[in-house]
Chains A and B, each alone.
Chain A
Amino acid sequence: MSRSRYTRRLPAAALAAGLALAVSACGGEAADPAAPAASASSAQLNPNADLSKQSVTISVWDGYTPKELPQEIKEKLKVDLKVTLHATNEEIMAKLTAGADTGLDVAFVSGQYAQALNEAGLLEPIHPELIPNLANLYPEAKELSYDKGNTFSVPYTWGTTGICYRTDLVKTPPTSWNDILNPPAEAKKKVTMMTTERWLALPALKVLGYSVNTRSDEELAKAKEKLLEAKPNLLAYDDTTFGARLTKGEAAMVVAWDGWCPTSEENVKFVIPKEGSDLWVDTMVVLKSSKNKEAAHAFINHILDPKVHGWAASNILYKVPNKAAMDIVDADLKAKNTPLQMTPADLLQGESIIDLGEDSVKFTKLATEVAAQQ
């Protein structure tokens, strides 16, 4: 009896396995990383397309674009704009790289992620003829190492990573990444470092004089030692709420992206350590799967309008790579928030973080090793 029951079930199991294989086979084509990215024949876009027949869906970080943007776009371009939100690069990447039909036209992601999306063949090349406002960008913004010449991405904001600190909680202002790794007595257990692996490793790599894009196992091993030594003196690893921790006095010194450091508070200051730092760029990309590519380009063009682009600098206090936009930022605001004073030349002192391809998993392992250490 029991034998007959099992044999009856076998075909079903075989069927399920076969189905799984068939499905995985066609999944393979969709996510084939070998597909050449930039060279893929992109459909010729029509500069005179009737935009009112198109709509644009973007995915962006909360608060990163003006609330009124949909109305503005509707009035100016006759295009319906739908704004959706993602919290981190990683999440939107997972969705996009799975090859699922997300319905997105434009995504906001950081430079190295744009690079990876392009390598995976998921991006539409930027058609400069459809974005006349590209002329507003600083020349330096066209020389970014993850995408020289802005062939598949358009920079939206840029900045660097440094130390954000409370002047009243530390005796001497920090000047070096060493102040984070070996904090003075008054700041012990009041320091936070980033969780995201590339920025977690940055202070240690810079102190050791290595590149943030290192692929060397030996250099990463040394960086790991530094990070493990630093761990007992840390409050937490945090790359979202460090600003709040600082203002309420839970932390005295935090590793921070410049725009996130609450420098408008009286006793909060931001410094780029003497060993140097990175240059990060948040970009806009058009997805190959988009059915509204003309409208997507028109959207990006609208963002690069000095008034619109300047909004980001004035309201979220991120520098934008747009000269005309930076010029209209209120002088008082710039005086108060010192990171806004950085010039493109200052920024280019920082090393641009690029995706390291097969070596990038080394950084993930490094972060795991640091976090797992008790």
Chain B
Amino acid sequence: MRRSRLLYVPFYATYLFLYAPIAVLVVMSFNSGDSPYSFEGLSLKWYGELAGNAGIRDGLVNTLVVAAGSTVLSTVLGTLLAVGLARHSRSKVLDAIGVLPAVLPDLVLAIGLLVFYASVKMTLGLHSVLLAHTVFGMAFVAAVVRTRLTHCDTSLEEASRDLGANAVTTFFRITLPQLAPGITAGALLAFTLSVDEFVIAFFTAAPTEPTLPIVIYSMVRFGVTPEINALATLLLAVSFTVVIVAQRMTRLTESLS
């Protein structure tokens, strides 16, 4: 197949663009000084500081709990919703409700949920963030899965139904396997968005149980310290490792392609 060399320019530019600031923060995390503008010497001292920071540790755990929980919930609800909207409804209103969380500015959702939680007298905590993150996580999963569904061959589903299988059986035997790559991508997206989400988490979390972005936000009041850079570097290393291991264990490659 012929492929224009020109295509490689934006391809490499994308990665360069995405990783240039990452490179800066990784390098600066090993800086012995504390100015982000001059590299004074190699040191691991910020990693030492980081290890002693209980606030960051707790924040990390909270973030993982929220992200994992909301990803599971989002994936299940989002996949069902995508199939429901694509196969069992022709209502534009329902379509719109399905994409609404993805097109809703985070601040609007954050304030709306805060007011709602206050109205029903719900105590804030990790559960309130988890529920909030599921609102947009579900929409993103549904959107990605639907993109896949629109071009899925419906003849298999039709055949299954014509042979007497009900909608649920058809879903598990025919639709789901076809959708697996979309679901994986959607789950990945939901998890990723939850881990880095700040605005909604800020408003719906209890001050006593902040997620990591909230902890970081309160620490960067005077600009980013090398300690935060060390944290970002570690997060990067850990997620990279997790992905590699997951790939080995679950053949992520195949599910993604």
Chain A–chain B contact at Cβ < 8 A:
yes
Q: Of A20-28, A170-178, A189-197, A333-341, which stretch is located at the interface?
A: A20-28
Q: Give the residues in chain B near A30, CB-CB below 8 Å.
A: 118-119
Please, how many angstroms separate the alpha-carbon atoms of A62 and B120 in the complex?
31
Task: Contacts A82-B208, A85-B210, A103-B124 given; indicate if A26 touches B222 (C-beta within 8 A).
Answer: no
Task: Contacts A87-B217, A102-B124 given; indicate if A244 touches B222 (C-beta within 8 A).
Answer: yes
Range, interface on chain A: 20 to 34
Please, how many angstroms separate the alpha-carbon atoms of A24 and B118 in the complex?
10
Q: Is B3 an interface residue (CB 8 A)?
A: no
Q: Is A365 an interface residue (CB 8 A)?
A: no
Main secondary structure of the interface of B (DSSP, over half): helix
Please, how many angstroms separate the alpha-carbon atoms of A85 and B59 in the complex?
12
Q: Give the residues in chain B near A103, CB-CB below 8 Å.
A: 123-124, 206-208
Q: Is A53 an interface residue (CB 8 A)?
A: no
Cβ contact within 8 Å between A248 and B207: no
Question: What's the least CB distance linking A129 to chain B, in Å?
Answer: 28
Q: Give the residues in chain A near B123, CB-CB below 8 Å.
A: 101, 103
Please, how many angstroms separate the alpha-carbon atoms of A57 and B207 in the complex?
9
Q: Give the residues in chain A near B37, CB-CB below 8 Å.
A: 248
Please, how many angstroms separate the alpha-carbon atoms of A241 and B206 in the complex?
27
Q: Is B219 an interface residue (CB 8 A)?
A: yes
Please, how many angstroms separate the alpha-carbon atoms of A101 and B206 in the complex?
8
Q: Give the residues in chain A near B257, CB-CB below 8 Å.
A: none
Question: What's the least CB distance linking B210 to chain A, in Å?
Answer: 7
Q: Give the residues in chain A near B39, CB-CB below 8 Å.
A: none
Q: Is A267 an interface residue (CB 8 A)?
A: no
Q: Is A291 an interface residue (CB 8 A)?
A: no
Q: Is B223 an interface residue (CB 8 A)?
A: yes
Main secondary structure of the interface of A (DSSP, over half): mixed
Cβ contact within 8 Å between A101 and B124: yes
Q: Of A92-100, A111-119, A159-167, A198-206, which stretch is located at the interface?
A: A92-100
Please, how many angstroms separate the alpha-carbon atoms of A26 and B118 in the complex?
10
Q: Is A243 an interface residue (CB 8 A)?
A: yes
Please, how many angstroms separate the alpha-carbon atoms of A57 and B218 in the complex?
17
Q: Is A59 an interface residue (CB 8 A)?
A: yes
Q: Is A264 an interface residue (CB 8 A)?
A: no
Q: Give the residues in chain B near A26, CB-CB below 8 Å.
A: 119
Task: Contacts A62-B219, A62-B221, A86-B218 given; indicate if A101 touches B202 (C-beta within 8 A).
Answer: no
Q: Give the residues in chain B near A102, CB-CB below 8 Å.
A: 124, 206-207
Cβ contact within 8 Å between B124 and A100: yes
Please, how many angstroms separate the alpha-carbon atoms of A102 and B128 in the complex?
12
Q: Is A61 an interface residue (CB 8 A)?
A: yes
Interface positions of A from 202 to 229, Cβ below 8 Å from B: none
Q: Is B73 an interface residue (CB 8 A)?
A: no
Q: Is B91 an interface residue (CB 8 A)?
A: yes
What per-residue 1/0 map shows which CB atoms of B128-160 lie under 8 Å from chain A? Answer: 000000000000000000000000000000000
Give the interface of B toward A (CB within 8 A).
35, 37, 55, 91, 93, 111, 114-124, 202-203, 206-208, 210, 214-215, 217-223
15 further A-B contacts with Cβ under 8 Å, apart from A9-B93, A100-B117, A101-B123, are A23-B116, A27-B115, A30-B119, A31-B118, A57-B208, A62-B221, A85-B215, A94-B203, A95-B203, A98-B115, A100-B114, A103-B207, A240-B222, A241-B223, A244-B223
Listed from nearest, the 7 A-B pairs whose CB atoms lie closest are A85-B218, A27-B119, A84-B207, A100-B118, A99-B118, A241-B223, A101-B123
Can you name 10 A-B pairs with beta carbons within 8 Å?
A85-B207, A85-B218, A87-B217, A87-B218, A87-B220, A98-B118, A102-B124, A102-B206, A103-B206, A241-B222
